[in-house]
Amino acid sequence: MWATNLKILGVVLGTLALYTLIANKIPQVQSEVPRALTLGADVTPEQLAQAGEQVFAGIGGCTTCHGLGTRAPNLLTDEKGQGPIGARCGKREPGKDCKAYLYEALTRPGAFVVPGYEPIMPDMTRTLSPQQIWAVIAYLESQGGAITVTASDIPAESKSTAGGGPGNGATGIAGGSRDPMAIVHAAGCIGCHKIGTEGAAVGPDLTHVGARLTAAGIREAILLPDAKVTKGFEKFAGIMPKTFGDQLTANQLEALIRFLAAHK
């Protein structure tokens, strides 16, 4: 009797130890939400640029591609002898000043693609608030040029927070929707991945991703995209944003993982 009970206890403790070990092996992601900055009608160009720098280097995921000089144009440093982005943005498209060009580049990136680069940039309105968009524009203008963004450019309803918005993980992207395809579209996934008949072939095809990755593997690919690079896509390593741990709610993340895992 005691021997049987001891065996059962041993099995229980062994199982708990095993699951604890597995849980500790799963990569943990620390969210880093940009510091909030209240923007009023008297916000200065410098304050806008400061907020934009936080978004650019953090939740926006911009440094994933820009600055490498291979996947996307350099923005903060010289690009082919034309200077940083603030010095050249007003010369990109005829009839568009710097502010208009940058706004188009962030909200309709496919409208004009810089020669020599692929159209891999997603529509940033899917993950950033209007205020964050305009703050980034101000920051980019400051890189070699004059800041022309003012408080009047920012919609009144979005002037209350700088670090918040769709990217703060509180409500999640796509308005907090748990519809996997709504999340996929809002996150800009189809800008690089194919799912069924939709999307581009820049990154691995996700149509049958569940046949080659477990749910844990899909979670790692979303939260730590550089941990393992799919064979054949090495040249695109680092292109996927590392900010989805901040942008998605826990429920959205799990809904997306279940959806992708079911695609055998």
122 plus 82 within the same structural domain: yes
Give domain status of residue 13, yes or no: no
> How far lies 133's CA from each of 56, 66, 111, 127, 249, in Å?
10, 16, 17, 10, 21
Which among 216, 227, 226 is positioned nearest to 61, based on CA atoms?
226
60 plus 149 within the same structural domain: yes
Percent of the chain with pLDDT over 90: 31
63 plus 102 within the same structural domain: yes
Q: pTM higher than 0.75, yes or no? A: no
Residue 68: strand, helix, or coil: coil
State the pairing for strand pair 198-199/194-195: antiparallel
92 plus 140 within the same structural domain: yes
Domain count, the chain: 2
139 plus 188 within the same structural domain: no
Give domain status of residue 227, yes or no: yes
Asked if residue 256 has pLDDT above 50, the reply is yes
> pLDDT tens digit string along 116-130?
887 778 788 877 888
- Domain membership of residue 62 as a residue range: 45-153
* Domain at 221, CATH number: 1.10.760.10
Higher-pLDDT residue of 129 and 144 is 144
pLDDT-derived band at 200 (thresholds 50, 70, 90) equals confident
Interacting residues of 175 by C-beta distance below 8 A, sequence separation 6+: none
Radius of gyration of the chain (CA): 22
> pLDDT tens digit string along 49-89?
999 998 888 877 788 778 766 678 899 988 888 999 999 99
> pLDDT tens digit string along 84-103?
999 999 998 888 999 999 99
Which among 258, 259, 257, 264 is positioned nearest to 209, based on CA atoms?
264
Q: Please tell me the predicted confidence (pLDDT) of residue 159.
A: 45
Tell me how far apart the alpha carbons of residues 36 and 129 are, in angstroms, rounded to a whole number: 13
Mean pLDDT for the stretch of residues 193-216: 89
Give domain status of residue 15, yes or no: no
pLDDT-derived band at 10 (thresholds 50, 70, 90) equals low
Each as own residue / partner, the long-range contacts of residues 212-215 (CB below 8 Å, 24 or more positions apart, any chain) are 213/260, 213/261, 214/261, 215/257, 215/258, 215/261
149 plus 73 within the same structural domain: yes
Return mean pLDDT, the chain.
79
Lowest mean pLDDT among 112-116, 157-161, 190-194, 201-205: 157-161
Q: Please tell me the predicted confidence (pLDDT) of residue 103.
A: 95
Q: Which two tokens stand for residue 136?
A: 């980034």
pLDDT-derived band at 168 (thresholds 50, 70, 90) equals very low
> Directed axis angle between helix 130-141 and helix 45-57, to 10°?
100
Mean pLDDT for the stretch of residues 15-33: 46
Give domain status of residue 78, yes or no: yes
Tell me how far apart the alpha carbons of residues 47 and 248 are, in angstroms, rounded to a whole number: 27
pLDDT-derived band at 205 (thresholds 50, 70, 90) equals very high
Query: Where a domain ends, among 153, 182, 200?
Result: 153
Q: Which two tokens stand for residue 19?
A: 């699951």
Query: Where a domain ends, among 153, 184, 213?
Result: 153
Higher-pLDDT residue of 256 and 156 is 256
